[in-house]
Amino acid sequence: MYNTYIFDLYGTLIDIHTDEESPELWERLSYHFRYSGIPIEAGELKREFHEDIQLQMSAPRVACEHPDFDMEETFQVIAVRRGVMPRAGWTEETVRWFRQLSIRRLALYDGVEETLRSLKAQGKQVYLLSNGQRIFVEAELRVLGIDGYFDGIAISSNAGISKPDLLFYDYLATTYGADLSSAVMIGNDSRTDIEGARRAGIDGCYIHSNSSPDVQEVDCKFQIWDGDFKRVLELVG
């Protein structure tokens, strides 16, 4: 029925839990800054981090309804504010530190790799449309061994646009050649994934996972309420 399969990532393909409010995270990250010659305490780092993200979101790179920020830019601004221009690669390294310190669980849901492999074997086009930071997404796809299954990986921090914005679907089509006329969107969030698909005029497959928002009903063609990812191919294969 469909030639193009567009997947959400977190809560759909990847079972992840992070704690970005952990005092230990900010204390250790502040050591990373200080080791790099950038004097800052944990509380100050956390406050400026959130303030700079809000500044990016209030003056987005792309004129859109749902913008996204770039965490590398956030950390660079904090460093430059203290008179330090970070060396090449430092901001990417810092984003990796942030993520590694915040992760509490990271795994694929059962049936994910088998489903992606089956779709590719059938000659289907498979895309990722993810709200998230490029450095997180690319590393976690690689760590979990599914980075090679996608014909295009669209990440909101790169685009400056996030789901459910229609412009993010346009970005997927123009950047990676995704044929939206033959597409279905598979995701675990009724607003960002399913509402986004509706805006783009494509069918949706909702899967209620352990990280889905608490909703009782969803308006889309396909629905999986028991979290069994292996049923995706039964419904939309």
Question: Which pLDDT band holds residue 237 (cuts at 50, 70, 90)?
Answer: confident
The model's pTM is 0.95
60-115: per-residue pLDDT in tens?
999 999 999 999 999 999 999 999 999 999 999 999 999 999 999 999 999 999 99
39, 138, 181, 67 alpha-carbon torsion, rounded to 10°: 0
177-235: per-residue pLDDT in tens?
999 999 999 999 999 999 999 999 999 999 999 999 999 999 999 999 999 999 999 99
How far apart, in whole angstroms, are the C-alpha atoms of residue 52 and residue 69?
A: 9
Q: Fill in the amino acid letter for 108.
A: L
Q: DSSP strand E in the chain: where?
A: 4-7, 14-18, 103-108, 125-130, 152-155, 183-187, 203-207, 222-224
Question: Which pLDDT band holds residue 27 (cuts at 50, 70, 90)?
Answer: very high
